[in-house]
Each structure stands twice: as C-alpha cells, then as structure tokens.
Structure 1
Amino acid sequence: MNTVPPPAEELVIINRELALLDARRSHLLARRAWLLSVLNAPAAPARPGAAPAKDAPPRSAQNVLLTLGGVLLAVAAVAFTLVSWGHLGIGGRSAVLFTVTAGALAAPVVLLRRRLASTAESVASLGLLLTVLDAYAVHRVAAPDTGALGYAAGASAVLAALWAVYGAVARGLRVPRPVAVVAAQLPLPLWALASDTGALTVGWALLVTASLDVLGALRARPGAGLRVVACVTACVSGGWAVLVAGWLSVAPGGAGPAALLLAAAAPALYGAWRVGTGSQAWAVTWAAVAGLLAVAGGGGLLREVLPGSWTAPVYLLVAVAVAAVAVRGGVPRAVGRGLAGASAGAQALALAWALPLVAAAVTGVRPGLPWAVAVVPVTVAGVLACLPSLEARCGTLALAWAAGMALPEALALPHAATLGAQLVLTAGFLALAVRPSAAAARLSGDREAEGPLGGVALGGALLGAVVVAAGAWRTETAAVVVLGSLTGLLAGAAVLGAGPRRTVSACAAVVAGTGLVGAVAAAVELPAHLTGVALLAVPVVTAAVGSGLRRHPVAVPVELAGTAAGALAVGLASARPAVLALVLGLGGVVAAATAVRSERRPAAGYAATALFVAAAWVRLAASGVSAPEAYALPVAVPALAVGVLRARRDPEASSWTAYGPGLAAALLPSLFAAWGDTGWPRPLLLGLVALAVTLAGARLRLQAPLLLGGAVLALVALHELAPYVAQAVGALPRWLPPALAGLLLLAVGATYEQRLRDARRLRDTLGRMG
C-alpha cells in the first residue's frame, strides 16, 4: 500500500529532482553546442583539449632554414673569394680557403653520426661549392698563364673524382655523388675544345662521356637519385654528340660523322639490352634510338663508296639488316620491338622517296627509272612477305604491283614491250582478284585473308589498266590493241568473279569498251560528231546485257556505266545539231526499249521521253523553226496520252495530275507567243483550242481543263480587246472611269451577300469536279 509523504518532505523531493533535471539540461546543451561547432567548422577540428596545430611541420621548417643558411654562406664565400681576395696575402688566402673547405667537408661526417642528416646535407653542399672556389683560387694564384679551357677540363676531372670519393666516404650524404656525375660531363668535351682539333673530336668526347654515364646508370641502384642523374646526363651528352655528327654528316666526305653515329648506337643498344627485363617502355625507346642511329651511321658509311642515286637504297638495306637483328633469336622482346620500329620508320622514309619517282615513271611524266629507285619497293615487299600479319601480306601485294609496273622502265624496254609486260601484270592481278583463294593460300595460308587480298588485287588490276591504257594512246594501233585486250580481260573477270569484284569488273569493262570505240574511231580518223554516233554502241550493248541479266545485281551498274558513255556521245555530237538530234533520238530508243522490259524501269521511261523531246527540239532548231507550237506539241501530246492512260487506270487521280502537265505544255507557250504577236491567226487558233478545252472540262466535269482553258481563253480575249478598250478609254472624259468604278463598288456592296452565296456555290461546284 503506497503512502503519501507530508507536504514539506514532498516539496524537498521535488526541488531535488528539479535540480537534477537542470544539471542534465546544462550538460546536454553544452554537448549540443560542441557538436554544432564540429559540423559547421571548415576543417576537421581537433578533439577538445588538444593542442592547436602548428603552421608548418618541424621537418619542413628545418629544411627551409638549412637551405637558407647554406645559400647565405655560399654567397658570403663567393663574395669573399671574388671581392675581398686582395686584402690577404697568398699564405693567408690559402690558409683561409683550405681551413674553411676542410671544416665544411669534415663537419657533415660528425653531423651524420649525431643523426642530423639535413644539416649535414646543407653543410656538405657548402663544402662542395668551396672546392670549386678553391680550384678558381689555385688557377688565379698558382697557374695564371694556363689556358682557361684546359685548366677547366683538368679541374672538373679532379673535382668529379674528389666529390665521388667524398660521397663514398660519407655514405649518408645524397648530394656528392650526383654532383660528381654532373661534373664528370665536362672534362672530355672541354679538353676537346681546348685541343682545337675540330667539331668531330668534340662529338667523340661527348659520346665517350655519354657511354660512361650509361655504365654508371646501369651500375647504380634502381630508384636511386644517382641513376636518374646519370640517365639525364647520358641523354644530354649523347644528344649533343648525335647533333654534332648529324650536322657534319650533311657535308660531303662524312665518313667520320657516320662512324660517330654508328658508334653512338652501341651505348643505346647496351642500355636497352640491360633494362629490357625491368622497364619495357624504356627498353623499347632506347632500342628504337639505337636502331635509328645504326641506320644513319651504317648508311652514311656505305654512301661514301656508292653513287649518289643509291643513297636511299643504301639506308634501306641497313634498315633491313637492323630488322634481321630484331627478329633473330636471343634478342629480348622489348629490344626487338624497338629495333623493328626503327627499321620500319627507315623503310617508310625510303618508300616515301621512291614511290613518287615510280609513279612519275609509270605514268610517263618522267620517262626512265634508275635501278636504285626500283630496288626500294622490291626490298620492302620482300621484308613484308616475311611478316605473318594480313596487313603485311596486302602491303606485299601492293608493292609487288608497283615494282612490276616500274620494272620495264628500269630495264629501258621498248614501248611495245613495256605495254605488253604491264598488260600481263594487269591480267595476273585480275586473276588474283577473280580467284583470291590461291593468293591467300600462297601469301598467308589463311582463307579469311581471301577478301582483303582480293580487294587489293582488284585495285592493282584497275590501276594497272588505267596506266596501260594511258600509255597506249601514243599510237592509235597500240590503243586499239591494248583497250581491246583490257575489255576482254575485264569482261572475263566480270563473268568469273563474284560479289562486288564482279560488279566493279563489269563497270570497268564498259569503260574500257568505251575507250576501245574511241580508239577505233581515232584510228579510222572519224570526226568528233561521228565518234559520238559510234559511241552509242556502248549503251546499246549494255542495255542488251541488262536485259539478259534481268534482276541480277550487276545489271543496273552496267546500264548506268553505259548511260555515262551515252552522255559522252551527246557531248561529242553537240558540235553538229543534226547529228546531235540523231544521237538523242537513238538514245531515246534505247531508253524506251529498257523501259518496256518486264522488270519495269520508270526512270528509263522518263529518260526516253526527255530524249525524244530533246531530239525533236534540236531537229527543229537545226531546221530554223522558231514557232513555239512546234516545240510544245511534241511534249504536250505524249503527256496528254499518258494522262488519259493514268485516268483510266486510276479513277481517283486528280485532273491536275493527269491532264495538267500536258495542257500547260500545249497552251502556255502559245499564250506567251500570242501576247507578243501582232497577227490574228495564232490568237484565233489558240482561242478556239482554249474554248474547246474549256467546254470539254465543263462537259466532263474536270477542274484542270475547265480552269486552264478558261484562263487562256480570257487572256486571249483580253489581248484582242485591249487595243479597242484603250482607244475607248482614251476617248472618254477623265472623270468617267472613277465614277464607273464607284458605281461598281456600290452595286457590289449592295448585293454583297448574294455575291458571297454565288461564290460559295461556284466553289462547291468546282470542288465536285475531278
């Protein structure tokens, strides 16, 4: 049973509970304020009670202070040496520099033992600088008459050795040995400059220095600063050596520079070979550099003993030798890739030099071809034939074509023999294009290569056909024989081939046949307009072939090629209007024969109509006929006949679609002529025809005849009445026309609604017509 305490005791209890609640609330509010400060702070704050962060880490601050101190001491030492030197005697000078230098070099050893590495590096750097000042002081005091370059060469060698030994003794220092490597770049080049024996000696000195750098870089620990510095200095010294050799090799008598380039390939290749198991990218890069240097140096040496025209082939042969080294056994893969890339680049440059000369010789732009030029595509084709890729096989085929086409020019064969050889080569490539499986089996052993090789082979055949045909036009007889042979070869390829190659061969046969007809016409000395008539044989033959092939995919391309020959015929016949009319008419017959075939070619029908109309117009113009009806009626009558057939076959067709074109062609030219005609027969006849057309349109309830005929009839009537109206208007007072116009407007306004109903009724009536 619960008992209730007395009021005084209960009040004490409540006050105690309220005090506890207030304390808890204060704690929660303080925690809430801290959490809000954490969330809203721009950076992560430290825990409560933690010490504030310093502006800079102790190590960074120490390095800055040490570096600044070393720089200030170095500036002071230089100023003492160069400015205040004269205030001391020779003994005092030597004692001060020796003492300070010895102290600066000895202090880092003690500092390293006390684990003050940063301080030791700063003091050691100051000591190294002091050794340079010591060398300068010795030259000024002890050997002032010694040559500056020679003394600098010896001093840099001594300093490099001293710094290297110092770095080996003070093993904890990182500065001395890399600085020694940098100093070691100077002795040999400075000695070469001091000896004044020429730039080639300087190049050899730089190369020897770079070779020593390569050895040092390979002996240093991977990832060490010494290796990085040695690699950089090797690149700099070796690069200058190559630049010197390249500059000197441009001049005649460059055997010495060529030997320097060839020797420069050795350290690059050695470095690539040694790092091949580590960094593949560096190995490929250095091997490529070595390959290029070998090509440049070896080609330069051989160039000195051969004629100037053999310069590019000599470099190419050296590049092939480099490629042979790249694929031989025992060469690391990365090294082989680099050498192969260098060889490929050199071969590409040789081709870039040779192929324009080959093209100029083959096309007859520059007759004759040196053997040195012909060797280049043959050599590169042989190299590509040894590679297993499909791209290399296609390149082999293309270069073989170039070499084969250029070979007769290199052999200086007679013109007939050159054409025969090139024609045989074209026939061979056509055979490969028709049956590419044999080429694929011989060149790659892969049936999947059949397609690409057959594209390449067909391209070579077509290009060869163009070259042979162009060369055959020197004489009419050669042109007839060559173009006849090409027509037969291409037609045979079209019959035996398959797929796109069949279509291309068929179209090429049509082109060759067109050239054959032109060659025959030139041989029998036909004039140009009669040659146009003869060329119509080509579209006739292609139309017959298309009719026989029916829906075969080759039919349409062949007929289009024949159409191009017909266009050429029109162009040749354009000089004689009568002959042009004949050509256009015969072309219309061919097109009409094509249009009535079972597969129905509407385009051929339109072409036939256009050709017939053009033929009639040209014939009329040639006969001196100027009446527009003679030109309009040959168009209007067929158009109206077609419209009648269209209306019978499609009752839903509009009269504008069926009869509009024909009526417009028949009436409008005569209307324009009638407005400029002062006689009466043409307006009278045109008016009668327009009246007949209007009545026919009203009788048959057709919009097009009704509106066109009515409009023409009204305009003809206006033309005939215009003089009388003008005469009457001229006789009337000037106030009468405005008065009549006002009365007309009043009448129209008074009967506006009735006129509107009449217009709507007329619109509905016309809308119900066909």
Structure 2
Amino acid sequence: MDMRLPPVEELRRVDLELVRLDARRAELLARRAWLLGVLHSPAGRPAVPPPGGAAPAETSPRGAQNALLTLGGTLLAIAALAFTLVSWGSLGIAGRSAVLLVVTSAALAAPAVLLRRGLASTAEALGAVGLVLTVLDAYALHRVALPGTDGLGYTAVASAVLAGVWAGYGGLLRGLRLPLPAAVAAAQLALPLGTLAAGGGPAAVAWAALLTAAGDLLLVARPAGLAVRITAGAAAGVLALWTLPTCAWLSLTSPWTGAPLLLACAALCLYGARAVRPAGAALAAVAGLAAVAGVGGPLRAALPAEWAVPVYVACGLALAALWRPVRAVRVPEPVRAGFGWAGGGVAALGVLWALPPVLGGLLGPAARSGGVWSGVHAEPVAAGHPATAALVLLLGAGAAAATGRLWGRWGAVVLGWALLTALPVSLGLPYAAGLAVRLVTVAAALALAVRPGLAARGLPEPAPRPEPGPEGPAGTWGAAWASGAVAPLRPGALLAGTALAAAVASAGSVALLALDARAATFGVLGALLGLFAVAAALGAGAVRETAAGAAVLAAAGLTAAGAGAAGLAPSVTGLVLLVVPAGTAALAARFRSAAAELTGAAVGVVAVALTAPRPALLALALALGGVVAAATALRPERRRAASWAAGALFLAAAWVRLAVWGVTVPEAYTLPVTVPVLVVGLLRRRRDPAVPSWTAYGPGLAVTLVPSLAAVWSDPSWERPLLLGTAALAVTLLGARFRLRAPLVLGGSVVALVGLHELAPYVVQLVGALPRWLPPAAAGALLLAVGATYERRLREARALRERLGRMR
C-alpha cells in the first residue's frame, strides 16, 4: 500500500481490503464444506449443490464405469451368440476353430493383465464375456464335432467340464468374483442330467440331486466366499423343492424305495440346520417331516390301510418327544423346536382325520329317522370311518398330557372328551352301550369340572405380563395387576370351564339319542338329573350355576316325559310342568342358585305357552305362576322383581278368566288393577310424603277412568254415565279436599266430559231448532266478550295454575 496517503484515505483502503478478504474466506469455507460432504457422503446419496450454482453429479465415477462395462460385456456376449448361431456356417472348419480359440483365449486372458493394472471392474466384465464364450464353445463343439451325441449326456459332461474349468479359472484369478459362483451353478446339472441320460428313473435322479445338494451344503459350511455360499445354498434349496415332493411320491407308491431317499433328505436338512443357524428351526422341521414320511412309509405298507394314519401319527409324536430336552441326547434348541413343530403338525393332521366320528357321535342323534319313542334308530353318521380314529385320538391325548404345559393339559382334556364321544361310532356299539358310553362321558367331564385340580396338578399359574404404559412403568394394566385387581390365570379354571362345556354338549347329545325309546328317555334323563345335581352340590362358581341350570332342564324333561307317558294332552302337560318352577323356587330359597331360578322361570314360560289353546287352563296356569312368584317375593333379595311378576300373573289370570266367562264390562278388567295400584301409591306416600300425586295415584286412576269414559261415549244407557260421573265427582272432591293435583285434574276432566256427553243430545236438538244465523252470531258475541275481558281471564288462568301448582 502507498504509505504516503493521508491517514483517512489509507484507513478507507485498509477497510475495503479487509472486506474483500472476508468475502473470499467465506467463499473458500463454503467450498471446503461441500467437498467434505462429497467425500463423506454414502454411495448413491445425492450431494448438496456446490456454491456457485454448479449442478451435482447424479452418479459416482465407479457407478458410471460399472454401467458402461456391464453394457459392453452384454453387447459382446450377444454378438458372440449371434456369431455362433447365425454366422457359423459361413466359415470353414479352420476359420471356425481359429475364431473361437482366439476370441475365447483373449477374453479369458485379458482379465489377468487388467487385474495387475488395478482395473478390476473391466477385468470382471471381460471375464464374464469369457465365461459366456466357453458355453458357446461347448455348444459349437457339439454342433460341429459331436453332432450325434445324446443331448442330455453331452450337457451333463459339458456342465461338469465347464464347472471344473471355471473353478480353476476362478482359483487362478482370485480378483474375479464371478467364476466360482458360476462354477457352482454349472455343477448342479452334471449328476442329475447324467443320471437321466443313463436311463435312470425318478429314484436314481433323486439320489443324484441329493448328492449334488450334499456338495452344495459342504460348500455352505466351508469358509468360502459369500457369493459362493449364497449360490450353493440357493442351489440346494432349488434341488430340495424338486427332490422332496419326488421322494414323498415315491414313499407312497414304493415305500422301500422312497424311505432311504427321505432319510437321506432328513440327514441333509439336519446338516444344513447346523451349517445355516438362522434357518435351523425351519430346516429341522423339514428334516422331521422327511424322517416321519421315511419311517412311516414301510410301516404303513406292512399294515392294513386303516392303520396308515395311526402309524404316521405315532412317528410324528415320537419325533415331537425330542422337543423336550433330554440329558442323554444333546440336540440343539433350534433343532428341537423344528422337531416339535414337525411332529406336532403331523399329529394335528391326524386329529383332523379322526374328527368325523367325533362329529358323528355328537351331532348324529339330531338326525332322527323316526318319531319320538318310535324305537327306530338312525344310522350313525360317519359310521364307515376307520375305527383306528379312536387310537389316533388316544395317542394325541396321551402326548398332550405328557407335555407338562397348560396348553398340553387343555388339549388332553379336549382330545379325551373327543375320544369318548367318538367311541360309539368308531366301534359301532349297540344302542344301549352307546347311551352308557355317552353317560360315562358326561360323568367324567363333570367330575373334572368339579375337581380340576387332578388335571392341573404341577402346573404353574401364569400371570398376565404388564406392558409399559403412560401411567408409570407398567401402565394402567400393570398397576391393576400389581394391586391385585387382575387375578392370575388359573389352570384349574380353564380346565374346569372346558370340561363343563364338554359335559353340557354330551348331555344334549345323549338326551336327543334317548328319545328313540321310552325307557331310555326316563333312564337317561334321570341319570342326567342326578349327575348335574351332584355337580351343582359339589361345585362352585360357574360350574355350580351351570350344573344347577342343567339339572332343572333335566327335571323338566323328565316331568314332560312322564306326562307324555301318561297320555296327557299338551295343555295339561303345561300344568304339570309348573311343578318344575315351583320346586326350583322352593329349593332356590335354600341353595341360592340364580341359574336354577332363571331356568325354572323359562320352563314356567314354556308351560304357560302350552296351555294357551285352552283359556280356562291358561287362567289356572297363570294363577299358579302368580302363586309361585308371590312365594318367591317373600325373599328379600327377590322381592321387587318377583312381586311385580306375581302381580302381572295374577292380573293376567283374572283377565283370562273374565274372558272365559264372557265378561265384556271394562271395569271388571280395570278395577282389579286400580285398587292394588292405589293401595301401593297410598303406602308409598305415607313413607315419603314428597312423592307427587301423579306418581302415586295417576296410573291407578287413569287405568279405570279412561277406559270407562271411552265406554260411556259408546253406551246409550244411563247407568254407566251416572256411576262414572258419581265416582269421578268423588275423586274430584277428594283431590280438592287433600289438595292433590292428579285426582283433581283427572276427576274433574272426567266429570266435565261425562256431563258434555249427557248434554250433547239436547244441544243437538236446540241447534236444530234455532235459525241458522244464530250459532255464528253467538260465536261472534262470545269472541267479543272474551276479547274485552282478555286480561282478566289471563289473571284468572294464572291464579288457577298457581293453585294447581301448590297441590301435590
């Protein structure tokens, strides 16, 4: 800078220079930040545009190079293929050989030079072209030098040769990634195609595929390159997709041929489960299925056809037994899990096969071929199913019970009940024996429902696991569990509920089956009554209530059967059935069973419905029902509901009786309602004087006054209007005396309407005798008078409303 400038000018120039330096420094810092971002950004991630507006690169240099090399290699392969297939015939034998030798040798030799110079991507592309050229060389050799050779055999030999050449080539040039996986892929065809070319059948080809898959698994287990291991694993999976179904088909058609194949498949899958640990459980499951099919095939062939499913189920359960750890046999946990799934799946399929006899034993009695007590027994449903289905259910129940888990015990209960249900159908038992087995099923299920501790012995009580929530570490659910509001899941409760449901289902089935014969009906219903009564006496909770309700139904069925055996008409049978709700109400007062009471009430409804065709008996049934309800109302906890039910039944009985007698006077129907309702209202107001009169007396007065008023307007005689008017006047005076709004309004309204009814004929006669202009003139004069005294009338109306409002 010029030091001779004045200080002011020199200061100005120094400031300008500093500003330019700061701007340049900011630009350089921005450029530096962008360069750092490009260097450290992940591959494929778009970089931030650099300062100055330059557009970012949309691909990396290596990506562009790979794309160009791939495209170039593909074009070269296409050109070589076209040359081989199309232009081959235009050259002589020497030219053909020279072209193939030169091009293939150049393509295979170039990667070695390129790798030494660090051009790995270019070497990879040319190496791929070289591999394709070797395939074309093999094809050209077959077309020119060996045209008469069998195609399958030549392909097998060529695949083996190419696999060896490619493997050696990849071993020499370690920098190339494609030759070794390509060699593994080519080797898959050698043995299967060679066996097929030699005339081998499906079994021989399957063995060849298994040997090839074994080699693949050896490669997977070795510490080879990742690409080689992935290729070998994928190839083994593809071979398995063909080999396993073929072996299974051979096991069905030729068991002794398919069994060794399946066992070899199982061994290979187990080896694969050890080599590929993430897929260990799945491969172990496949191995287990193959082992079951391999062992079960010869056994199935040596036994009758109906034993086929039990044989496979037994093999599956034996395999599933390895699910639990055994000290003498060390099996890895994933393998044990796979064995458990495989064996359990086979057992589940066997249970599904055994279900038709269970459904036949449960639902078959509903398919009735004759009437009740006809003595005709329908053919059992699914009677042609093999009897070995019972053995399958027995094996499943035993295996489930041996697991020592809650789900296993539950499955054992279900399968045990299914076994007993299927026995009459599977064994073709006679009618009496079938009834006995079904009753034993009910008894066993009820015994387990009453005492589930025997089946739940040794099982822990699993508790619900709390989940984290917004209200603390365990949330609302965890807090409830910690405080004891959520009870742990008790194994005994689950098993008891399952057994109870089974007992009810079997009871319904045996009751339907017993309707074929009269003696069987009485015997079965009596046995069911006793079994459920004992269960209700010994059980607790839901078991007690359900058993009590079922016992009431059995008693009702037994009572109806007795009435039917005595030849009573349905309406009379309805009267007899009322014994059931009466007895239920009497016993419930001692044993306190809500289910028994509700069931008895339902039986009472059915009994009343049966008497409907005969009104006289219907009135008697309603009255008897009212008596039962009234007796129940003596209990404090049932007083409210039972008292209302008793009142309704008595009222309905009175109405039906009046209808039978031919009574049409409405007061005969309404007064029996009015009197007790008014008494109830009076008693209520004595206990609570604040109760409004509309609530205490309104319903009772309206029940009688309104129907009677309707009858007055259609009654030409003078007695009813006189009596109704007198009664309404008395109600009005009582309302005025005690200042009660409901009697005053209702009584006064009825008096006014009755008076209008009596005055109406005279008004009609008077209007007919007067001139026609007089009614309009009178109406006009009335309107003028009302208008003139409008405010006074309003005050009078307000005063009347206030007086009524002060009443109760």
Compute the TM-score of the two structures, normalised by the length of structure 1.
0.88
1:136 has 2:149 as partner = no
Provide the C-alpha distance between the structure 2 equivalents of 1:530 and 1:612, rounded to a whole number of angstroms: 20
Structure-2 residue corresponding to 1:398:
414
Shift in Å at residue 662 of structure 1?
0.9
Provide the C-alpha distance between the structure 2 equivalents of 1:333 and 1:467, rounded to a whole number of angstroms: 45
1:523 has 2:565 as partner = yes
Provide the C-alpha distance between the structure 2 equivalents of 1:588 and 1:71, rounded to a whole number of angstroms: 98
Provide the C-alpha distance between the structure 2 equivalents of 1:729 and 1:187, rounded to a whole number of angstroms: 124
Name the stretch that deviates more: 98-107 or 270-279: 270-279
C-alpha change, 1:673 and 1:183, in structure 2 (3 Å) is: farther
C-alpha change, 1:370 and 1:137, in structure 2 (3 Å) is: closer
C-alpha change, 1:707 and 1:680, in structure 2 (3 Å) is: same
Structure-2 residue corresponding to 1:236:
238
1:320 has 2:322 as partner = no
Q: Deviations over 1:141-172 (max 9, x none)?
A: 12333444443333333323322232233233
Structure-2 residue corresponding to 1:567:
605
Q: Secondary structure at the match of 2:309?
A: helix
Structure-2 residue corresponding to 1:215:
218
Structure-2 residue corresponding to 1:276:
274
Verify the 8 A CA contact 1:362 1:409 in the aligned structure 2.
Answer: no
Q: Deviations over 1:476-512 (max 9, x none)?
A: 2222222222222222222222333223322222222
Name the stretch that deviates more: 173-182 or 373-382: 173-182
Structure-1 residue corresponding to 2:501:
459
Shift in Å at residue 14 of structure 1?
5.4
Provide the C-alpha distance between the structure 2 equivalents of 1:208 and 1:761, rounded to a whole number of angstroms: 113
Name the stretch that deviates more: 658-667 or 433-442: 433-442
Provide the C-alpha distance between the structure 1 equivalents of 2:101 and 2:496, rounded to a whole number of angstroms: 84
Verify the 8 A CA contact 1:200 1:256 in the aligned structure 2.
Answer: no
Letter in 2 for 1:238: A
Name the stretch that deviates more: 479-488 or 117-126: 479-488
Structure-2 residue corresponding to 1:427:
443
1:331 has 2:331 as partner = yes
Q: Secondary structure at the match of 1:144?
A: coil
C-alpha change, 1:381 and 1:445, in structure 2 (3 Å) is: farther
Shift in Å at residue 46 of structure 1?
9.0
Structure-1 residue corresponding to 2:631:
593
Provide the C-alpha distance between the structure 1 equivalents of 2:363 and 2:33, rounded to a whole number of angstroms: 82
Letter in 2 for 1:422: R
Provide the C-alpha distance between the structure 2 equivalents of 1:579 and 1:453, rounded to a whole number of angstroms: 47
Verify the 8 A CA contact 2:50 2:56 in the aligned structure 1.
Answer: no
C-alpha change, 1:74 and 1:604, in structure 2 (3 Å) is: same
Letter in 2 for 1:519: A
Shift in Å at residue 606 of structure 1?
0.7
1:225 has 2:227 as partner = yes
Shift in Å at residue 34 of structure 1?
8.2
Verify the 8 A CA contact 1:214 1:271 in the aligned structure 2.
Answer: no
Provide the C-alpha distance between the structure 2 equivalents of 1:461 and 1:298, rounded to a whole number of angstroms: 39
Letter in 2 for 1:254: L
Taking only the aligned residue pairs, the percentage that are identical comes to 52
Instruction: Say which of 636, 647, 651 aligns to 2:674.
Output: 636
Provide the C-alpha distance between the structure 2 equivalents of 1:723 and 1:420, rounded to a whole number of angstroms: 82
Name the stretch that deviates more: 491-500 or 75-84: 491-500
Shift in Å at residue 210 of structure 1?
3.4
Q: Secondary structure at the match of 2:118?
A: coil
Pairing 1:74-223 to 2, within 5 Å after superposition: 74-191=77-194, 205-219=208-222, 221=224
Shift in Å at residue 577 of structure 1?
1.7
Structure-1 residue corresponding to 2:254:
256
Q: Secondary structure at the match of 2:354?
A: helix
Shift in Å at residue 541 of structure 1?
1.9
Q: Deviations over 1:294-334 (max 9, x none)?
A: 33454454444444444432331221232235545222221
Q: Deviations over 1:208-247 (max 9, x none)?
A: 44344333323353x611111111121122112334456x
Shift in Å at residue 98 of structure 1?
1.9
Instruction: Say which of 742, 758, 780 aligns to 1:742.
Output: 780
Aligned-CA RMSD value? 3.5
Provide the C-alpha distance between the structure 1 equivalents of 2:718 and 2:654, rounded to a whole number of angstroms: 27
Shift in Å at residue 571 of structure 1?
2.2
Instruction: Say which of 62, 65, 71 aligns to 1:62.
Output: 65
Q: Secondary structure at the match of 1:437?
A: coil
Provide the C-alpha distance between the structure 1 equivalents of 2:431 and 2:58, rounded to a whole number of angstroms: 90
Q: Deviations over 1:249-300 (max 9, x none)?
A: 7xxx932389548724634543444543762x40001111222233345445
Q: Deviations over 1:568-605 (max 9, x none)?
A: 21222223222121111111111111112244520111
C-alpha change, 1:271 and 1:413, in structure 2 (3 Å) is: closer
1:547 has 2:589 as partner = yes
Shift in Å at residue 21 of structure 1?
4.8
1:620 has 2:658 as partner = yes
Provide the C-alpha distance between the structure 2 equivalents of 1:92 and 1:40, rounded to a whole number of angstroms: 58
Give unpaired runs (5+ residues) of structure 2. Answer: 38-45, 366-379, 463-488
Letter in 1 for 2:711: A
Structure-2 residue corresponding to 1:583:
621
Shift in Å at residue 389 of structure 1?
0.8
Structure-2 residue corresponding to 1:662:
700
Give unpaired runs (5+ residues) of structure 1. Answer: 1-8
Verify the 8 A CA contact 2:536 2:544 in the aligned structure 1.
Answer: yes
Name the stretch that deviates more: 732-741 or 119-128: 732-741
Provide the C-alpha distance between the structure 2 equivalents of 1:415 and 1:659, rounded to a whole number of angstroms: 65
Structure-2 residue corresponding to 1:437:
453
1:413 has 2:423 as partner = no
Verify the 8 A CA contact 1:269 1:286 in the aligned structure 2.
Answer: no
C-alpha change, 1:671 and 1:121, in structure 2 (3 Å) is: same
Verify the 8 A CA contact 1:200 1:257 in the aligned structure 2.
Answer: no
Pairing 1:362-377 to 2, within 5 Å after superposition: 362-365=362-365, 366-367=380-381, 368=383, 370-377=386-393
Q: Deviations over 1:39-61 (max 9, x none)?
A: 99999869999999755333222
Shift in Å at residue 608 of structure 1?
0.7
Letter in 2 for 1:294: A
Provide the C-alpha distance between the structure 2 equivalents of 1:348 and 1:94, rounded to a whole number of angstroms: 65
Letter in 1 for 2:752: A
Provide the C-alpha distance between the structure 2 equivalents of 1:659 and 1:317, rounded to a whole number of angstroms: 79
Shift in Å at residue 196 of structure 1?
7.0
Name the stretch that deviates more: 46-55 or 154-163: 46-55
Provide the C-alpha distance between the structure 2 equivalents of 1:507 and 1:709, rounded to a whole number of angstroms: 50
Verify the 8 A CA contact 1:266 1:290 in the aligned structure 2.
Answer: no
Verify the 8 A CA contact 2:447 2:535 in the aligned structure 1.
Answer: yes
Verify the 8 A CA contact 1:361 1:406 in the aligned structure 2.
Answer: yes
Provide the C-alpha distance between the structure 2 equivalents of 1:758 and 1:109, rounded to a whole number of angstroms: 124
Shift in Å at residue 181 of structure 1?
2.2
Q: Deviations over 1:436-495 (max 9, x none)?
A: 333333888999643333333333333333333333222222222222222222222222
Letter in 2 for 1:483: L
Letter in 2 for 1:154: V
Provide the C-alpha distance between the structure 2 equivalents of 1:277 and 1:81, rounded to a whole number of angstroms: 43
Q: Secondary structure at the match of 2:388?
A: helix
Provide the C-alpha distance between the structure 2 equivalents of 1:631 and 1:370, rounded to a whole number of angstroms: 68
Structure-2 residue corresponding to 1:538:
580
Name the stretch that deviates more: 270-279 or 756-765: 270-279
Provide the C-alpha distance between the structure 1 equivalents of 2:212 and 2:599, rounded to a whole number of angstroms: 70
Q: Secondary structure at the match of 1:440?
A: coil
C-alpha change, 1:712 and 1:335, in structure 2 (3 Å) is: same
Q: Deviations over 1:492-533 (max 9, x none)?
A: 222222333223322222222222222322333332222222
Structure-2 residue corresponding to 1:5:
none
Provide the C-alpha distance between the structure 1 equivalents of 2:275 and 2:81, rounded to a whole number of angstroms: 47
Q: Deviations over 1:608-655 (max 9, x none)?
A: 111111111222233333333222222222212211211222111111
Provide the C-alpha distance between the structure 1 equivalents of 2:518 and 2:590, rounded to a whole number of angstroms: 33
Q: Secondary structure at the match of 1:388?
A: coil
Q: Secondary structure at the match of 2:455?
A: helix
Verify the 8 A CA contact 1:393 1:443 in the aligned structure 2.
Answer: no
Provide the C-alpha distance between the structure 1 equivalents of 2:194 and 2:806, rounded to a whole number of angstroms: 112
Provide the C-alpha distance between the structure 2 equivalents of 1:265 and 1:678, rounded to a whole number of angstroms: 105
